[in-house]
Amino acid sequence: MDAPLARHTLLELHGCDAALLNAPGDLKALLLEAVRRGHGTIVTDVFHTFSPHGVSGVVVIAESHVAVHTWPEHGYAAVDIFSCGSTLDHAAIRDWIRAGLRADRVESRELTRG
């Protein structure tokens, strides 16, 4: 059997700072810095704020993508870290985002793709 082509980490972050989850500029800065700390190469990003609340953000990286969707009313954020190759440090990205969002509790699933 061939090695998987990509790794995918799915994070459920609970008990986050609700104001941060509704601040697209802060979320963008947090995700971009997390990607840098994971040694990712940023290609582009898009962040969108929903009415009445919530933000969706995707950072396209040379290794694939990091995405966040937030539910400020639940103090919850879903984060996906998807990468081909073995260079992206998923744990470093997770830890930076977890600390930045001040999450009380994080569930992590590690899947392979391809």
64 is catalytic: yes
Which of 69, 74, 83, 86 does the annotation list as catalytic?
69
Number of chain residues interacting with its own copies (CB under 8 A): 29
57-96: contacts with its own copies (CB under 8 A): 58, 60, 62, 64-65, 67, 69, 71, 74, 76, 78, 80, 82, 84
The nearer residue to its own copies, 30 or 77, going by C-beta atoms, is 77
64-91 CB burial, b ≥16 within 10 A, e <16: bbbbbbbbbeebbbebbbbbeeeebbbe
Exposed (0-12), middle (13-18) or buried (19+): which is 48, by Cβ within 10 Å?
exposed
Work out whether 37 is an interface residue with its own copies (CB under 8 A): no
Q: How far is the CB of 10 from its own copies (least distance, A)?
A: 7
84 is catalytic: yes
Query: Residue 14's Cα: distance from chain center in Å?
Result: 13
Work out whether 42 is an interface residue with its own copies (CB under 8 A): no
* Residues designated as active site: 64, 69, 84
